[in-house]
Amino acid sequence: MALWINDGLHEAAQGIRSFLLVGQSNMAGRGDLTPENTITAPDCFMLRMGRWQPMSEPINVDRAVAEGAVPRSGANLAASFAAQLQKETGAKIGLIPCADGGTRISQWQPGEVLFDHAVFQAKLAMRTSALTAILWHQGESDCLAPEQLEAYPEQFLRTMRAFREELGDLPIVVGELGYPENGFHGTPAELLKEFNRRLPELAAQLPKCAVVSAADLTARPDGLHFTTESLRTLGLRYLEAYKSLV
């Protein structure tokens, strides 16, 4: 009797450069998916059950996937990131989806479930891939009150330094939140703007950390999440930021 299902995925695990996806819903992805706009690419994979499977969206299934469900797991910025990186380098690219919508930075502290889960998944991936960088997008849930914004820097730095202690001295790419003038009205505008204003100063306290602009990217009608088109653009901006670090 075979010891595993012969699904053809074991051979694919060789030579993969993997990326850890962490943060809240705009990293998980809430863009609308259709048969026409979903991204597939050769030699791009995602971690499922500790093994590499061909990349298919939704990549980061943190919510329902059924049509009509609200909120719904959907298009993801990492899909365009991976597909373009694979095209440019010819390397196999693996995505490790660990983002969770609606989560606060306090829930990503070392020792908390989300942090430990991400570390565990990354270490599983490291058995069969070269962990290459951390892609982070989070902050909307910490822009609801001024005291949250004031507490954010210390907690953010603690989380990122703890990831590096566990996983190695990895490049970290961090995205801005969407701008109020582009339809992002789900959080107080002044706090959101102040978060983005402070983000470069915060990232500068971490070596090999780059910030990705969300300028000109638009929101879904919910005022919280990037549209599919904007997620695709944001993924390419993440790629350029990553390349600037390596």
pLDDT (tens digit per residue) in 161-194: 999 999 999 999 999 999 999 999 999 999 999 9
Residue 15 φ/ψ region, left for φ over 0, alpha for ψ in the -120 to 50 degree band, beta for the rest: left
In a domain, 236, yes or no: yes
In a domain, 209, yes or no: yes
pLDDT in tens, 138-152: 999 999 999 999 999
pLDDT for 5: 45
Overall size of the chain counted in residues: 246
Instruction: Output the pTM of the full model.
Output: 0.94
The CATH number covering residue 143 comes to 3.40.50.1110
In total, how many domains does the chain have? 1
Give me the mean pLDDT over the 193-219 stretch. 97
Q: What radius of gyration do the chain's Cα atoms show? A: 17
Cis omega (within 30 of 0) on the bond before 35? no
Identify the bridge partners of residue 135 per DSSP, sorted by sequence position.
Answer: 21, 173
Averaged pLDDT of the chain: 93
Closest Cα partner for 156 from 97, 121, 204, 190?
Answer: 204
In a domain, 11, yes or no: no
Residue 39 and residue 32: Cα distance in Å, rounded? 12
In a domain, 4, yes or no: no
In a domain, 57, yes or no: yes
Residues 6+ apart with CB under 8 A from 231: 26, 29, 31, 75, 76, 77, 80
Identify the bridge partners of residue 23 per DSSP, sorted by sequence position.
Answer: 137
Residue 73 and residue 25: Cα distance in Å, rounded? 9
Structural domain range at position 237: 20-245
**pLDDT confidence band for 13 (50 / 70 / 90):** low
Between the alpha carbon of residue 187 and those of residues 32, 62, 102, 117, 179, the distances in Å are 21, 21, 12, 27, 10
